[in-house]
Amino acid sequence: MRRVPAGCAVLIALLAGCSGSGELDPVTGEWAADGAQPAGFAHFAENATISVDGGKATLGTPPSSLCGGATVEATGDDGFRIAFAGANSCVTVNVPVSLDVRVEGDTLRATPTGAPGDAVFRFRRAD
């Protein structure tokens, strides 16, 4: 039986566990609605929050969680997509099926997928 030096084993484990883990770092965290929001989705109003952690997102209006279990993925063009799982994950709220997201510093801009560019919801980092 061959033995692998402990230092090599730890390095291999770290590299295997970290591959791609930073891909969602820019969007990970707590986000709070920033000012007046476009009409159309009332639950993205002035007091809405989005929480992103571990590739999942939750939409809420403090202290309630309205939608959970949304998936978050990088789109490959420096953007992200938050996709809500539908009626099963939302408590009688009107949310878009998915949001195309851009993060610039402490600002998150979200547009319902396929909507015109002027329907942008703005959030600021809250954590």
Task: Report how far residue 109's alpha carbon sits from residue 98's, in angstroms, rounded to the nearest whole number.
Answer: 13
Whether the ω angle into residue 63 lies within 30 degrees of 0, i.e. cis, is yes
Flag the least confident range among 1-5, 45-49, 92-96: 1-5
Mean pLDDT computed over 64-79: 87
**In the predicted model, what is the mean pLDDT of the chain?**
79
pLDDT at site 2:
41
- What residues have CB less than 8 Å from 23, skipping those under 6 apart? 74
Q: Which long-range contacts (CB under 8 A, 24 or more apart) does 8-14 make?
A: none
pLDDT at site 9:
34
- The pTM for the full model equals 0.75
Q: Could you tell me whether strands 49-53 and 56-61 are parallel, antiparallel, or unpaired per DSSP bridges?
A: antiparallel
pLDDT at site 96:
81
Q: In order of start, what are the domains of the chain with their CATH numbers?
A: 22-125 (2.40.128)
Task: Report how far residue 94's alpha carbon sits from residue 39's, in angstroms, rounded to the nearest whole number.
Answer: 12
Q: What is the band of 123 on the pLDDT scale with cuts at 50, 70, 90?
A: very high
**Whether residue 15 has pLDDT greater than 50:** no
Where do we find the tokens 């403090």? 62
pLDDT at site 21:
52
